[in-house]
A and B are shown apart, each in its own frame.
Chain A
Amino acid sequence: GESVGLHLPTLSVQEGDNSIINCAYSNSASDYFIWYKQESGKGPQFIIDIRSNMDKRQGQRVTVLLNKTVKHLSLQIAATQPGDSAVYFCAGPMEKLTFGTGTRLTIIP
């Protein structure tokens, strides 16, 4: 069946370093992907999206890379800050609007 999931449940990064959060998907027909973050006690927050006609998209301090050959998606956060601590989710349009368990990013001061 269709699935979008995340590689690691947890990731710890030193403050100031770059973070890379990975995600895999199984459906080759997926053509739109979204990254969300969820801070403790808050709702999921849209970070950045990408369509399948692109390989890369940049936002403020974030970059999403899409590798359609291996069906892999990554979110890169530059110069990680304490405020980046959250659970990060990738989602695709074929996923019946469901979220996976996410990757919990912890920033080490």
Chain B
Amino acid sequence: EPEVTQTPSHQVTQMGQEVILRCVPISNHLYFYWYRQILGQKVEFLVSFYNNEISEKSEIFDDQFSVERPDGSNFTLKIRSTKLEDSAMYFCASSEQGSYNSPLHFGNGTRLTVT
């Protein structure tokens, strides 16, 4: 069964550094998402992406965050200057249609630790 893959599984970075989290969505999916989950808390929506542009974003997704689909297969999340509070699991997801009509399929996440 096709799946969403994320790399790396664990990323450790120093405060103020830039990080790029990578995702390969399911190949025939058109909608892409990033979520995060701080340890012990809810899964929080960050951003959705369709047709090469952001379709929705949350208040968490400020100017320090950006997303890109640099080619036909990858979907990336960049954090420009990491803060301690950015430490979390980051999940990428994709869906065949939008979230109003089809389920999201999630990767197993990248654990980001900011020191």
Enumerate chain A interface residues (CB-CB to B < 8 A).
Answer: 32, 34, 36, 38, 41-46, 49, 89, 93, 96-102
Enumerate chain B interface residues (CB-CB to A < 8 A).
Answer: 4, 33, 42-45, 48, 56, 91, 93, 99-109
Among B99, B102, B107, B109, which residue has its beta carbon within 8 angstroms of that of A97? Answer: B99
Quote the shortest CB–CB distance from B113 to chain A (angstroms).
15
**Chain B residues positioned under 8 Å from A99 (CB to CB):** 42-44
In chain B, what residue has the closest Cβ to A45?
A: B106
**Chain A residues positioned under 8 Å from B4 (CB to CB):** 43
In the complex the two chains form, what is the Cα distance from A36 to B48 in whole Å? 18
**Chain B residues positioned under 8 Å from A32 (CB to CB):** 100-101
Q: Determine the main DSSP class of A at the interface with B.
A: loop
* Known contacts A98-B44, A101-B42; A93 and B103 CB within 8 A of each other: no
In the complex the two chains form, what is the Cα distance from A38 to B102 in whole Å? 18
**Chain A residues positioned under 8 Å from B108 (CB to CB):** 41-43
Among B44, B56, B104, B107, which residue has its beta carbon within 8 angstroms of that of A46? Answer: B104
Quote the shortest CB–CB distance from B112 to chain A (angstroms).
14
Judge whether A93 and B44 touch: CB under 8 Å: no
* Known contacts A43-B109, A44-B43; A96 and B56 CB within 8 A of each other: yes
